[in-house]
């Protein structure tokens, strides 16, 4: 099996429009939660979210493209442009037929869907845009990126709720290891902060209702957590075989060394008891990468700030790592970014990559009252500096989809 490395990274998040800004704000413990500005939320019970601020699509797209692309696709292209630039793949990729694109999204262009549905109901079918279908389908982000760079290798999307982009990165890793591609542009994107989305999540009692203090709302592992905070954004990485990266003199940011996946077969939205499916995903990841559990120094938790989810994941980590669980850091960046749904796994893989590269671990903010059932070290409220050889990233989705990715500090 070929070794797979990361050579480029691009982020568009609620705490920054670039990788550097996002990373700086995460290390500082800055929350991206604030009152909603994209639309009037006054009729909703939940009136805040982690929006991407000051995003200008015209920095990467022309006006015609911006009008024809839903925001989730615009985010993906902006993140991909950053990753391609960092990987030094401009003005062109070495072999476009051996380079693919795999971008995950849990929902796709729901803002476009809502807008066009309203036009259809209020003004009739003739007012529906001819671009409606290609604007909202979840796979269009991958398609547009492949068109932008002329990439003719494997090209598709993964849709598995909040595990979508983790599946995308893991599947891209497999494609390169198995020799079906030399490089992949992969990750995830989401732009689901809309009235309909929030109404659906609030009515199932999944969201925090701290309208008076949004920045304090996302509090994974805290005893007083009351639900997750919805977020938007995108994360894209460039994966290459080690030989491909070395041949073109690329700077290597880290190495992907494991991919585990499983299904709960339990419930539409609730995790399996004791995180049984999560346990199997983590064990599968460790086995696939021949990783000794004691090598793992950091786990980026799925950690959504929901009651059952945080407890089940904590139990799963204890079951897999035993005594070592108390020695590693197991924390949640969703305390700052909110939950990016289908893009969450990509962002959290990127954070895990940066942890191994820098030895700096962002905090889990809003830790005020410890939950005795979530008693692992979450780096509460303050950044931790500690060398990390191997980091894991957990992503779990409605429907019982579980993914764990492993990244190792690169050693030639």
Per residue in 79-133, pLDDT (tens digit) is 999 999 999 998 899 999 999 999 999 999 999 999 999 999 999 999 999 999 9
Check whether residue 285 and residue 403 sit in a common domain. yes
Check whether residue 237 and residue 267 sit in a common domain. no
Residue 143 is assigned to a structural domain of this protein: yes
Distance of CA 331 to the CA centre of its chain: 15
**Average pLDDT, integer, range 385-392:** 98
DSSP string across 372-392: TTS-SB--BSS-EE---SEEE
Above 80 in pLDDT, residue 4? yes
With contact defined as beta carbons under 8 Å apart, do 102 and 184 qualify? yes
Residues 6+ apart with CB under 8 A from 358: none
Cis link prior to 91 (omega < 30° from 0)?
yes
**Average pLDDT, integer, range 27-52:** 98
Check whether residue 235 and residue 379 sit in a common domain. no
Classified as helix, coil or strand, 227 is coil
pLDDT band at 1 (very low <50, low <70, confident <90, very high): confident
pLDDT band at 411 (very low <50, low <70, confident <90, very high): confident
Residue 84 is assigned to a structural domain of this protein: yes
What does residue 119 show for φ and ψ, rounded to 5 degrees? -60, -45
Whole-angstrom distance, CA of residue 405 vs CA of residue 213: 33
Sheet with 329-331: strands ordered across: 155-156, 99-104, 183-190, 233-241, 4-12, 254-263, 401-408, 390-397, 296-300, 329-331
Check whether residue 225 and residue 323 sit in a common domain. no
Which residues have a catalytic role annotated? 162, 302, 339
With contact defined as beta carbons under 8 Å apart, do 305 and 229 qualify? yes
Domain C-terminal end among 202, 222, 247: 247
Check whether residue 204 and residue 318 sit in a common domain. no
Residues 6+ apart with CB under 8 A from 336: 14, 15, 25, 26, 29, 30, 31, 32, 218, 362, 365
Check whether residue 227 and residue 294 sit in a common domain. no
Residue 253 is assigned to a structural domain of this protein: no
Residue 30 is assigned to a structural domain of this protein: yes
Check whether residue 241 and residue 284 sit in a common domain. no
Domain C-terminal end among 219, 247, 275: 247
Above 90 in pLDDT, residue 279? yes
Size of the chain, expressed as the number of residues it contains = 412
What does residue 234 show for φ and ψ, rounded to 5 degrees? -150, 150
Check whether residue 183 and residue 217 sit in a common domain. yes
Residue 346 is assigned to a structural domain of this protein: yes
Above 90 in pLDDT, residue 390? yes
Check whether residue 164 and residue 294 sit in a common domain. no
pLDDT tens readout for residues 43-62: 999 999 999 999 999 999 99
- Per-residue DSSP letter, 52: P
pLDDT band at 214 (very low <50, low <70, confident <90, very high): very high
Whole-angstrom distance, CA of residue 240 vs CA of residue 242: 6
Check whether residue 39 and residue 164 sit in a common domain. yes
pLDDT tens readout for residues 357-385: 999 999 999 999 999 999 999 999 999 99
Domain C-terminal end among 247, 272, 300: 247
**Number of independent structural domains in the chain:** 2
Domain that holds residue 339: 259-408
Pick the closest to residue 174 from 390, 408, 1, 412 (CA basis): 1
**CATH code of residue 291:** 3.40.47.10
DSSP string across 125-138: GGGS-TTHHHHH-T
Residue 305 is assigned to a structural domain of this protein: yes
Residue 252 is assigned to a structural domain of this protein: no
Q: What is the pLDDT of residue 354?
A: 98
Check whether residue 191 and residue 298 sit in a common domain. no
Residues 6+ apart with CB under 8 A from 133: none
Check whether residue 265 and residue 213 sit in a common domain. no
């Amino acid at each position: 099996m070929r070794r797979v490395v990361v050579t480029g990274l691009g982020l568009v998040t609620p705490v920054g429009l670039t990788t550097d800004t996002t990373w700086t704000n995460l290390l500082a413990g800055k929350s991206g939660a604030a009152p909603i500005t994209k639309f009037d939320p006054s009729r909703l019970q939940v009136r805040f979210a982690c929006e991407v601020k000051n995003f200008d699509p015209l920095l990467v797209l022309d006006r015609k493209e911006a009008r024809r692309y839903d925001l989730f696709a615009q985010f993906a292209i902006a993140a991909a442009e950053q990753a391609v630039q960092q990987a030094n793949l401009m003005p062109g990729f070495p072999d476009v037929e051996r380079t693919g694109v795999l971008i995950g999204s849990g929902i796709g262009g729901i803002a476009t869907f809502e807008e066009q549905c309203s036009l259809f109901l209020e003004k009739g079918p003739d007012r529906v845009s001819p671009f409606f279908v290609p604007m909202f389908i979840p796979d269009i982000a991958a398609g547009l990126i492949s068109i932008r760079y002329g990439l003719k290798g494997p090209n598709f999307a993964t849709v598995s709720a909040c595990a979508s982009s983790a599946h995308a990165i893991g599947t891209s890793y497999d494609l390169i290891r198995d020799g079906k591609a030399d490089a992949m542009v992969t990750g995830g994107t989401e732009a689901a902060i809309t009235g309909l989305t929030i109404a659906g999540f609030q009515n199932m009692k999944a969201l925090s209702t701290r309208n008076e203090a949004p920045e304090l709302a996302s509090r994974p592992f805290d005893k007083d957590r009351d639900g997750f905070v919805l977020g938007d954004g995108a994360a894209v990485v460039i994966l290459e075989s080690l030989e491909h990266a070395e041949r073109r003199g690329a700077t290597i940011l880290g190495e992907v060394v494991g991919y585990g996946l499983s299904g709960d077969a339990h419930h539409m939205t609730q995790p399996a008891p004791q995180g049984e499916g999560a346990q199997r995903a983590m064990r599968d990841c460790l086995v696939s990468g021949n990783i000794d559990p004691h090598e793992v120094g950091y786990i980026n938790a799925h950690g959504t700030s929901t009651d059952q989810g945080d407890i089940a994941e904590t139990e799963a980590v204890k079951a897999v790592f035993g005594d070592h669980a108390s020695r590693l850091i197991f924390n949640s960046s969703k305390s700052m970014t909110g939950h990016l749904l289908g893009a969450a796994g990509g962002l959290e893989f990127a954070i895990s990559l940066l942890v191994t590269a820098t030895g700096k671990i962002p905090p889990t903010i809003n830790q005020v009252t410890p939950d005795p059932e979530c008693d692992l070290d979450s780096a509460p409220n303050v950044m931790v500096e500690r060398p990390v050889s191997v980091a894991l990233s957990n992503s779990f989705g409605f429907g019982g989809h579980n993914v764990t990715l492993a990244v190792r500090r690169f050693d030639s």
